[in-house]
């Protein structure tokens, strides 16, 4: 078996990816709950927390801030992404090549695939190029596997999420990031479909501490290898506190209430 290409963004086989591409994907509205997080420097500081195994950002943020953090933060460079300013069938333009990501010092590349969109065919072809180039440069490959668009009726149903996880394996991702399918049982099935590709759970909109950690814990119990989370960390008043608790839940498999009490 090949060495796991995503070891650089994992710890003990698990990953806690801090996602910070929201300025592009959703716009400044996502920074309103915690205005200091509009400053990427704040997120790079958070990414030095022991719990965080990689920070996912777009090219422009990496160019401006990563040189000061390359010794302390693992870079997961998002290669495609789109704004919320337009309407239409889901698509995500490629904003950065895998070669350019390697030049910036990325440990891994991230790529969104909207399976079921009318643009799936082009996106899969773009992913192929990114995946093969990442392999040449020894970078891990993380797929944001988000089925949506005309071909998808329910983007978080168990069947859809299992298919999303399987796309990660079939197309050669090391990690596949999927939305929580609503139950530990369904997450377990998605993990089974992904085989050797690690499944990580997407964070989603802000929830209270216990409810969020309980879902993370259920996902880990079901075989997920961690999570990729943005808003549920940086929109809180005290992001370090939830990172402490996530570290206990993800890496030590602590009970959520106990993790919050320490
Ligand atoms: P969150 O934990 O905040 O949900 O971030 C995960 C993420 O995949 C981000 O990387 C991305 O910006 C966002 O969700 C996209 O969410 P959506 O396309 O569902 O609005």
**C-beta of 25 in contact with ligand 1 (< 6 A):** yes
User: Which ligand 1 atom is nearest residue 19's CA?
Assistant: 10
The alpha carbon of 1 and the centre of ligand 1 are apart by a number of angstroms equal to 32
In tens, the pLDDT along 86-128 reads 999 999 999 999 999 999 999 999 999 999 999 999 999 999 9
Q: Where are the beta strands (DSSP E) in the chain?
A: 15-19, 54-57, 75-78, 108-113, 140-145, 175-178, 198-202, 226-229
Tell whether the model's pLDDT for residue 1 goes beyond 90.
Answer: no
pLDDT at 225 over 90: yes
Please pick, among 14, 129, 153, 177, the residue that the annotation labels catalytic: 177
CA of 119 relative to ligand 1 center, distance in Å: 19
CA distance 222 to 218: 6
* Residue 225 Cβ contacting ligand 1 at under 6 Å: no
DSSP letters for 130-149: HHHHHHHTT-EEEEEE---S
Mutate to test the pocket of ligand 1, among 25, 91, 142 (most ligand atoms within 8 A of CB): 25
Q: Which residues contact 61 (CB under 8 A, 6 or more apart)?
A: 20, 23, 40
| Ligand 1 atom closest to residue 227's alpha carbon, by position in its atom list | 2
What pLDDT was estimated at residue 6?
82
**Model confidence at 2: pLDDT above 70:** no
Quote the ligand 1 centre to 22 CA distance (angstroms): 7
Where residue 5 falls among pLDDT bands split at 50, 70, 90? Answer: confident
In terms of Cα–Cα distance, which of 185, 191, 101 is closest to 139? 101
Instruction: Judge whether residue 65 has pLDDT over 60.
Output: yes
231 lines ligand 1 (CB under 6 A): yes
Mean pLDDT of the chain: 96
Ligand 1 pocket check for 155: Cβ under 6 Å:
no
Percent of the chain with pLDDT over 90: 96
**What local confidence, expressed as pLDDT, does residue 144 receive?**
98
The mean per-residue pLDDT over the stretch 234-257 comes to: 97
- Give the ipTM of the model, two decimals please: 0.92
Read off the pLDDT of residues 131-149 as tens digits, 9 standing for 90 and up.
999 999 999 999 999 999 9
Decide if 177 is catalytic: yes
pTM greater than the 0.95 cutoff: yes
Domains and CATH numbers, the chain: 7-261 (3.20.20.70)
């Amino acid at each position: 078996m090949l060495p796991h290409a995503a070891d650089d963004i994992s710890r003990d086989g698990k990953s806690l990816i801090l996602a910070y591409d929201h300025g592009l994907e959703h716009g400044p509205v996502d920074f309103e709950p915690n205005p200091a997080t509009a400053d990427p420097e704040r997120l790079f500081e958070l990414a030095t927390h022991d719990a965080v195994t990689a920070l996912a950002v777009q090219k422009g943020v990496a160019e401006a801030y990563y040189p000061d953090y390359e010794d302390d933060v693992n870079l997961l460079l998002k290669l495609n992404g789109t704004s919320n300013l337009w309407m239409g069938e889901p698509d995500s333009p490629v904003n950065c090549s895998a070669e350019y990501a390697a030049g910036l010092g990325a440990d891994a590349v991230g790529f969104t695939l909207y399976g079921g969109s009318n643009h799936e065919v082009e996106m899969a072809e773009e992913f192929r190029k990114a995946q093969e180039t990442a392999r040449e440069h020894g970078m891990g490959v993380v797929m944001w596997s988000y089925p949506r668009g005309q071909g998808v009726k329910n983007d978080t149903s168990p069947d859809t999420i299992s298919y999303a996880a399987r796309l990660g394996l079939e197309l050669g991702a090391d990690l596949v990031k999927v939305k929580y399918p609503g139950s530990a049982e369904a997450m377990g099935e998605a993990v089974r479909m992904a085989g050797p590709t690690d499944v990580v759970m997407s964070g989603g909109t802000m929830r209270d501490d216990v409810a969020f950690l309980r879902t993370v814990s259920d996902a880990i119990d079901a075989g997920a290898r961690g999570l990729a989370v943005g808003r549920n960390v940086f929109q809180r008043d005290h992001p370090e506190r939830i990172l402490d608790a996530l570290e206990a839940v993800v890496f030590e498999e602590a009970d959520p209430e106990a993790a919050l009490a320490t």
